[in-house]
Chains A and B, each alone.
Chain A
């Protein structure tokens, strides 16, 4: 039997009795036991884990762990994650009353992807890819409305882009979720021509990642 790690939590009671907690330094990992011969991609298992994650987030905000990490016991968990617990603790204390929300929309006008054959150095190619990717933006009026109604509700926000979508990740107070929902409904009503998806609440993920700088 292995234990799949779902997230990292500040307190044991944030995890139990929803699911089993495993100690890592002075924090607690939420875990789901999985038979060794059961594949982690099993559909029923994924649905079960999604349900557990939702229940855990109802109790308290946690740092999401990318799906697939599994351990045998606490010592293996400490070996794999022990060096990150100080940062996680800091995040969990700072954002205990907050959750993530994301809004995804396609770019108004996708930019042309650079052709690698036009470049002699890796640096020039990656910089051109970066420029092309970060030049994309959503419909200007749609973005202005988001900046006016959603962004002010966020304690932190971050725009992320790739060639096919623009994504706004927001850290919001739980007490502001109803207002975020209302703003989302207004967007749906007023921007029928811009397909978008506003989803959440989610545990800390974008704002707990290594490439996020506050």
Chain B
């Protein structure tokens, strides 16, 4: 059963036609590095978001001690900082790394 009032948006999001994952990687040495970096960083960003979401769900369920909240929060801060540094190195923005993950939402 799938019921949606946004059929066009739903169809679009289910295609996974995502500019962050190019159909082919250009072999031009001047752009290949940037294309690969975009692909790899998109995947790292996806994993970072999943980790963040999992941490928030565990907090919501009351499963985290104060020490664990501190440790997870510090790890997420460092990960975010590292991602910002890497995006800067390759000249990428948040929009460049925005993967669509499925119905009614994108990674961002």
Contacts and interface: CB of A to CB of B under 8 A. Distances in A.
Nearest to B71: A122
Interface residues of A, number: 42
B60 A130 contact: yes
Is the interface on chain B under 10, 10 to 19, 20 to 34, or 35 or more residues? 35 or more
A192 interface: yes
Interface string B45-64: 00000001111111111110
B17 interface: no
Nearest to B57: A211
B72 interface: yes
Contacts of A126: 55-56, 59, 69-70, 72-73, 76
Nearest to B63: A211
Contacts of B105: 104, 106, 164-165
Interface stretch (B3-11, B20-28, B32-40): B3-11
Nearest to B53: A162
Contacts of B56: 126, 129-130, 133-134, 162
A164 B73 contact: no
A185 B70 CA distance: 44
Interface in B55-108: 55-63, 66, 69-77, 80-81, 103-106, 108
A197 B81 contact: no
Interface of B: 1-6, 9-10, 52-63, 66, 69-77, 80-81, 103-106, 108
